[in-house]
Amino acid sequence: MAVISNDGDGFRLGMLVYDTRYRSYTIQIFALILFMLAVAWLLDNAITNLALLGKTFSFGFLFETASYDINQRLIDYTSTDTHARAAIVGILNTLLVAFLGCITATIIGVIAGVLRLSNNWLIARLMTIYVEAFRNIPVLIWILITVAVINESLPAPSGFRGADPAASPFLGGMLVLTNRGFYIPAPIWGDMSMAVVAVFLLSIVAMFVFRRWARKRQEATGEILPVLRISLAIFFLPTLLAFFALGMPITLEYPELKGFNFQGGVFMRDSLIGLWLALSLYTGAFTAEIVRAGILSVSKGQSEAAFALGLRPNRTMNLVVLPQALRVIVPPLISQYLNLTKNSSLAIAVGYMDVTGTLGGITMNQTGKAMECILLLMTFYLIASLSISSVMNWYNERVKLRER
Amino acid sequence: MKIKGAIIAAAAVMAVSTAANAGTLDDVKAKGFVQCGVSTGLAGFAFTDANGVWDGFDVTFCRATAAAIFGDPNAIKFTPTTGKTRFTALASGEVDILYRNTTWTLSRDVDLGFTFLGVNYYDGQGFMVRKGLGVKSAKELDGATVCIQTGTTTELNLADFFRANGMSYEPVPIETNAEAQQKYLSNACDVYTTDASGLAATRATFEKPAEHILLPEIISKEPLGPLVRHGDNEWGDVGRWVLNALIIAEEKGITKANVAELAKNGSSDPEVNRLLGKEGSDGDQLGLSKDWAVHAIAAGGNYGEIFERNIGESTAIGLARGLNQLWSKGGILYAPPFR
Ligand SMILES: N[C@@H](CCC(=O)N[C@@H](CS)C(=O)NCC(=O)O)C(=O)O
């Protein structure tokens, strides 16, 4: 407003078009109106078409009985629960595989990225092959291949039966690999086990306090403590002591063959393993390139200077190269995490019951509420993606170059 | 630019379903062929032969419909649909009629907004297991891993059956019959469950069919039939009466071989004459030519012939007529009178 009253000649309508000061506003407002009209037309069209098909737009179906079963449930769920609860079961499954996938993709990516720069010819080439193979074949194919390999090559549970079974568990019964999935022991939380957990959590806190103190001390006095070894000791020792002192309250439940399948332990289904592995290897290949680019972006002079100052190679990596490389690595890494999360919706191809399988699959199909289900799905993926990117942006802020 | 592109795409998607309602028969006549939704592939019911030509029980009914309208059983295009995609394909107007082992249920009729035109196969859900498992009854399946096709009535019946019997199971959801077969054969599931006819058809394609058995329990009613969108009665009538005509043809002994001659020379049975367009004006009432039923029957024969040729006891699938026998011969196949 102030701008307008400042100009002496008064305001004419033509200025909205010819005056460069106003023209951009005119265009923007005009575009906004057009955009809103388009949205209104789309909504109207959607509602009319739904009405033509004799369908109403409502979310009431979410509170009706789902009537179908879901194999992997992180919370209690039976076929008598509602569609809303089935959707939540699916959401948790999506988050589980996305979380596991992001962690392993990062580990694989960092290792492969660093090794690709290795001076060892063979290792560097192997990593190139890995990166190129996984980057250039669609992830859906990798998912299908991994699950097919598990299904076709591993023994069925019945192979473990009998006096002289064709297959047997590994690690003294700790690990059972079947073509329906993998079983590992599950912890049984006895009395007092919470005390052990509490000690464990406390020692993690203590470890961070120690590391901060050690850094301060190093900055003040220049003395270097064996931080890694002491951290590891703080991490393990108190918990182990508490565990034995309290009479081993946490025990393990081993998977056992009962009836058609193994029972007990933690069951990781073929679909979870396949999806997780394929997503990690696929995204890991991209991450490896990002890591390599990040390391290469730090000019050689930096590490040469560090060597000249007498820093050993791993300290040079940790103190000089990585902190600078992270600035280059983190932003594209965010989009890899987002990609992985969204790619996890390919779960449906191998029958992993993620949110696309429950809400966007069976629920949508059985209720016919396509519009509503897709809108909810879009909202979920939007929120998940925005949350991931805000967390990562926060991290990026922290590693960013601080200009002093 | 991006936003604009997205809007146009979204508009296109939403606009698809307009014009999908009334006047399907006119639309079909105008484009010159029927678009029929079938399975992605189920031996005996809908499959492509070595030359890529669609054939099977459901496919023949589609062809008969096309023949009734155009006089040509090849005036038809097929869209393979999965359990999940079939209803969207029909609702959006991508297909005109759906012949895909689809069970007639209340919610599909009322809630999803479709009209079922009748039943071309009375079925029920069964279980298939390997003989080697030693299982004799579905009640012994506690703890088993079960392969199911998603988007079907099968998965709902299964949940009910296991809950009612206080048993647990591990469901493995699968998109198509082909994938289910692969999973089952690799022993990634103990049991495959779907419509008993589908189980028989699937088993027939196995290398060693004799190593697999169908358990005695049939846990549901699965009346399978054709369906169209709600609200277009003229189109629905055409599909319904093609199906009825094929059943009546069996009743009256009109076959692929004698239909042309009967149409030419007439019969002493007035209903046959009406059916074949010698008397009355039923074709006009349906918006079809007088001899529509002649073409429909000539396409693949009457109901009994279609059954025997595709899935009957002389085929590898070897299904008995059972409930699908004519009402006059102990079954429940019963078409309303043609008058
Ligand atoms: N009748 C059930 C099940 C239909 C169904 O999916 N049948 C299977 C086997 S009988 C099938 O046709 N599969 C063929 C395909 O995967 O395309 C329904 O309508 O929901």
Confidence band for A393, pLDDT divided at 50, 70 and 90? confident
Q: Give the pLDDT score at A227.
A: 84
| Of A158, A178, A257, residue with least CA distance to B133 | A158
Q: Give the pLDDT score at A404.
A: 59
Evaluate if residue A399 carries a pLDDT over 80.
no
Tokens 């096709």 -> residue: B149
- Do residue A362 and residue B162 have CB atoms under 8 angstroms apart? no
How far is it between the farthest Cα atoms of chain B?
Answer: 72
> Structure pTM?
0.84
Based on the number of CB atoms within 10 Å of its own CB, is A22 exposed (0-12), middle (13-18) or buried (19 or more)?
A: middle
Q: Is B14 on the interface with A (CB under 8 A)?
A: yes
What is the CATH T-level fold of the domain B2-122+223-329, as seen in this structure?
A: D-Maltodextrin-Binding Protein; domain 2 (3.40.190)
Q: And the tokens for B70?
A: 């155009």
Strand A181-184 relative to strand A176-178: parallel, antiparallel, unpaired? antiparallel
Domain range summary for chain A, segments of one domain joined by +: 48-159+268-404, 193-250
Region A366-373: mean pLDDT is 88
B112: closest chain A residue by CA: A368
According to DSSP H, which parts of chain B are helical? 2-15, 24-31, 57-70, 86-91, 106-110, 153-164, 177-185, 196-204, 233-251, 259-265, 270-275, 282-286, 292-300, 303-310
Q: Give the pLDDT score at A403.
A: 64
Q: And the tokens for B36?
A: 């029929």
| Of B208, B223, B230, residue with least CA distance to A368 | B230
- In angstroms, the first-to-last Cα distance of chain A is 38
Cβ-based interface (< 8 Å): residues of A facing B? 35, 38, 41-42, 45-46, 48-49, 52-55, 67-71, 78-80, 151-152, 156, 158, 179-180, 258-261, 263, 270, 348-349, 351, 353, 357, 361-362, 365-368, 370
Region A210-233: mean pLDDT is 88
Sort out which chain B residues have CB atoms less than 8 A from A368's CB and list them. Answer: 87, 91, 107, 111-113
Q: Give the pLDDT score at B113.
A: 87
Cβ(B81) to ligand 1 under 6 A?
no
Q: How many residue contacts between A and B have a Cβ separation below 8 Å? A: 121
CATH number, domain A48-159+268-404? 1.10.3720.10
Q: Give the pLDDT score at B7.
A: 47
Based on the number of CB atoms within 10 Å of its own CB, is A30 exposed (0-12), middle (13-18) or buried (19 or more)?
A: exposed
DSSP string, B44-64: TTBEE-TTS-EESHHHHHHHH
Q: And the tokens for A72?
A: 């992997």
What is the CATH T-level fold of the domain B125-220, as seen in this structure?
A: D-Maltodextrin-Binding Protein; domain 2 (3.40.190)
Q: Give the pLDDT score at A187.
A: 87
**φ/ψ (deg, to 5) at B107:** -70, -35
Confidence band for A224, pLDDT divided at 50, 70 and 90? confident
Regarding predicted confidence, which is higher, A164 or B261?
A: B261
Domain range summary for chain B, segments of one domain joined by +: 2-122+223-329, 125-220
> If you take atom 9 of ligand 1, which residue's CA is the nearest one?
B198
Sort out which chain A residues have CB atoms less than 8 A from B144's CB and list them. Answer: 259-261
User: In this predicted model, what pLDDT tens digit does every residue of A35-58 receive, in sequence order?
Assistant: 999 999 988 888 887 777 667 788
Sort out which chain A residues have CB atoms less than 8 A from B154's CB and list them. Answer: none
Sort out which chain A residues have CB atoms less than 8 A from B91's CB and list them. Answer: 53, 368
| Residue length of chain A | 404
Q: Give the pLDDT score at B15.
A: 46
Strand A186-189 relative to strand A181-184: parallel, antiparallel, unpaired? unpaired
- Expressed in angstroms and rounded, the spacing between residue B285 Cα and the centre of ligand 1 is 34
- Segments in chain B below pLDDT 50: 1-20
Ligand 1 atom having least distance to the Cα of B105 = 19
Rounded-to-integer distance, Cα A238 and Cα B127, Å:
55
Cβ(B224) to ligand 1 under 6 A?
yes
- Do residue B163 and residue A349 have CB atoms under 8 angstroms apart? no
Mutate to test the pocket of ligand 1, among B195, B197, B203 (most ligand atoms within 8 A of CB): B195
B46 in Cβ contact with B54 (< 8 Å): yes
Question: Which of B10, B91, B171 is closest, CB to CB, to A53?
Answer: B91
- Do residue B151 and residue A361 have CB atoms under 8 angstroms apart? yes
Point out the least confidently predicted range of A272-276, A279-283, A391-395, B163-167: A391-395
User: In this predicted model, what pLDDT tens digit does every residue of A95-106 receive, in sequence order?
Assistant: 999 999 999 999
Sort out which chain A residues have CB atoms less than 8 A from B186's CB and list them. Answer: 151-152, 179
Residue A32 CB-half CA count within 13 A? 6
Question: Which of B143, B150, B182 is closest, CB to CB, to A362?
Answer: B150
DSSP reduced 3-state for A328: helix
Q: Give the pLDDT score at B9.
A: 46
B18 in Cβ contact with A49 (< 8 Å): yes
Q: Per residue in A341-361, is it b (16+ CB within 10 Å) or e — as a string?
A: bebbbbbbbbbbbbbbbbbbb
- Do residue A67 and residue B156 have CB atoms under 8 angstroms apart? yes
Q: Give the pLDDT score at B26.
A: 94
Chain B from 204 to 223: CB within 8 A of any A CB? none
A70 in Cβ contact with A53 (< 8 Å): no
Q: Would you say the ipTM is above 0.85? A: no
Rounded-to-integer distance, Cα B7 and Cα B251, Å:
55
- Expressed in angstroms and rounded, the spacing between residue A185 Cα and the centre of ligand 1 is 38
Evaluate if residue A350 carries a pLDDT over 60.
yes
The DSSP output letter for B126 is E
Rounded-to-integer distance, Cα A54 and Cα B114, Å:
10
**φ/ψ (deg, to 5) at B255:** -120, 175
B291 in Cβ contact with B308 (< 8 Å): no
Evaluate if residue A156 carries a pLDDT over 60.
yes
Cα dihedral B297, B301, B303, B304 sign = positive
